Amino acid sequence: MTQLGNMPPLFSTAKDLLALLHERILLFDGAMGTSVQALHLTAEDFGGPQYDGCNEYLALIRPKLIADIHEGFLKAGSDIIETDTFGGAPIVLAEFGLQDQALEINRAAAQVAKDLARRYTTPAKPRFVCGSMGPTTKSIAVTGSASFDQLRETYATQAEGLLLGGVDFLILETALDTLNIKAGLVGIEEVFHKLGMSVPIIVSGTI
């Protein structure tokens, strides 16, 4: 696995992360969406009415808000924090006119989480960052609202931003369409080849 940039990894390799899982249970953080809702933000906090409710945009324009949420989970003992990118795929951000900023939004969200994880990492308790990739608002098999190639491309863009921001692994989460999952995995694999690196991938399904 190649580490991007000049910063040292949170934990030396993906192999070490997986080895740690054999030693103990690693704790994920709590839900980012409800944590943002609890802040009772206004449209102005999101950058204007057109972006109201786009939690992912906050990582770019209000990073301190997202950092505070991450820090709360780290203080509570989380080993792993997820990036504020559940809806960070271009095909979802297009609903707010932000599809062209998808790469930067995902990179920024990863960097916010990474900075906090580094700050709280100790030799006894390393902290990790997981790149969150939600199911999007489209489905290939269930509703036919997107094609395989559209989903592959949108997931690839999101994965590239997250990897450039330095996440330790990726999660395709709350997935309900197996074709969406396949498109996501193919897109991620393409980015691995493009960047010359790879990280572990988790798939979280829902029934």
Q: Determine the average pLDDT of the residues in 58-63.
A: 98
Report how far residue 14's alpha carbon sits from residue 183's, in angstroms, rounded to the nearest whole number: 23
Tokens 């924090």 correspond to what residue? Answer: 81
pTM: 0.92
- State the greatest distance between any 2 C-alpha atoms of the chain, in Å, as a whole number: 48
Q: Determine the average pLDDT of the residues in 56-71.
A: 98
> Which CATH homologous superfamily contains domain 14-205?
Homocysteine-binding-like domain (3.20.20.330)
Can you say how many angstroms the Cα of residue 107 is from the centroid of all Cα atoms in its chain? 9
Q: Summarize pLDDT for 89-124 with one digit per residue, the tens.
A: 999 999 999 999 999 999 999 999 999 999 999 988
* Three-class secondary structure assignment of 148-185: HHHHHHHHHHHHHHHHHHCCCEEEEEEECCHHHHHHHH
Contact 56, 93 (CB under 8 A): yes
